[in-house]
């Protein structure tokens, strides 16, 4: 359906608001797209007197140029520059594409946590579903939530390594290198399986709690993580592989 800006904007005393009455949102990807759109529209009001037209948002007068677009993209992606400087290798990892995209969004701080949603729903409850104490931010959900720290501790024990994840920097470090796990080549390959599996399992578990009223059990989160490590570890080529046996993660 074709729609003009005036059809999705309503003027009011406080300045007006966007009305996105979507008939249905059928999957997480669409939710993400709508969230991105709402963030783009935030604080922006249309001119009711002018015709709709396509303009380049940076200066509103010039045509789009690739260099400008790249500069805008870098500026609008706070996590990107630091990730690029760390020689981002997510796209080469032997894990499902949707998980790679998800990890990319995690480090962009653009997944739909409660604190992210609260940007356009200021009155919503932003309490973490796992610990019911702190605000659910990206860093809290994957790093500092006491419930999730149990998982990192279990992985530490299972890999006989010292995994200490307190912030996003630590999380990234453990994505690209797993300390104390054999030689450097092994560390890189294992880190690119184990840490993403934990992050993906945390997200799936969190969605189960938020959207399907499931209860959080650390045992279930651990089992899910182990299952993913088994599945993805099987895709490693060459002499190396990852196996999980009796609560221990083995690199052979
Ligand atoms: Zn928490």
Residues of the chain with pLDDT under 50: 80-81, 84-87, 239
The 3-class secondary structure across 99-131, one letter per residue, is: HHHHHHHHHCCCCCCHHHHCCCCCCCCCECCCC
Ligand 1 ion local residues (Cβ < 5 A): 128, 130-131, 145
**pLDDT the model gives residue 243:** 63
Q: Which residue has the tokens 């709402």?
A: 38
Work out whether the CA dihedral 147, 149, 153, 159 comes out positive or negative.
positive
**pLDDT the model gives residue 12:** 67
Distance 121 CA to ligand 1 centre (A): 20
- Structure confidence by residue, pLDDT tens digits, 129-186: 999 999 999 999 999 999 999 999 988 888 777 778 888 888 887 776 655 555 565 5
What distance in Å separates the CA atoms of residue 93 and residue 197, rounded to the nearest whole number? 12
Distance 156 CA to ligand 1 centre (A): 20
- Structure confidence by residue, pLDDT tens digits, 75-87: 655 554 455 444 4
**pLDDT the model gives residue 97:** 85
Q: Which residue has the tokens 């059809």?
A: 7
**pLDDT the model gives residue 87:** 45
Phi, psi of 18 (to 5 degrees): -85, 135
Distance 202 CA to ligand 1 centre (A): 11
Q: Which run of H or E residues covers position 250?
A: strand 248-251
| CA-to-CA separations, 179 to 20, 69, 170, in angstroms, rounded | 47, 38, 12
């Amino acid at each position: 359906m074709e729609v003009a800006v005036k059809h999705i904007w309503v003027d009011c005393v406080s300045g007006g608001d966007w009305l996105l009455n979507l008939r249905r949102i059928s999957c997480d990807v669409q939710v993400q797209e709508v969230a991105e759109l709402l963030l783009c529209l935030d604080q922006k009001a249309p001119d009711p007197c002018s015709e709709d037209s396509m303009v380049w948002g940076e200066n509103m007068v010039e045509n789009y140029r690739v260099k400008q677009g790249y500069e805008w993209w870098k500026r609008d992606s706070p996590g990107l520059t630091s990730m690029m400087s760390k020689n981002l290798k997510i796209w080469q990892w032997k894990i499902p594409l949707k998980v790679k995209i998800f990890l990319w969004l995690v480090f962009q701080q653009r997944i739909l946590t409660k604190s992210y949603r609260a940007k356009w729903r200021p009155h919503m409850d932003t309490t973490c579903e796992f610990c019911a104490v702190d605000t659910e931010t990206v860093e809290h959900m994957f790093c500092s939530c006491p419930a999730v720290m149990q998982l990192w501790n279990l992985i530490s024990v299972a890999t006989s390594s010292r995994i200490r994840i307190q912030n996003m920097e630590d999380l990234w470090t453990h994505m690209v290198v797993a300390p104390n796990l054999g030689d450097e080549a092994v560390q890189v390959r294992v880190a690119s399986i184990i840490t993403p599996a934990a992050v993906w399992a945390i997200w799936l578990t969190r969605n189960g709690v938020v959207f399907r009223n499931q209860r959080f059990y650390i045992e279930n989160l651990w089992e899910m993580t182990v299952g993913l490590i088994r599945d993805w570890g099987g895709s490693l080529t060459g002499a190396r592989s990852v196996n999980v046996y009796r609560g221990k993660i083995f690199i052979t």
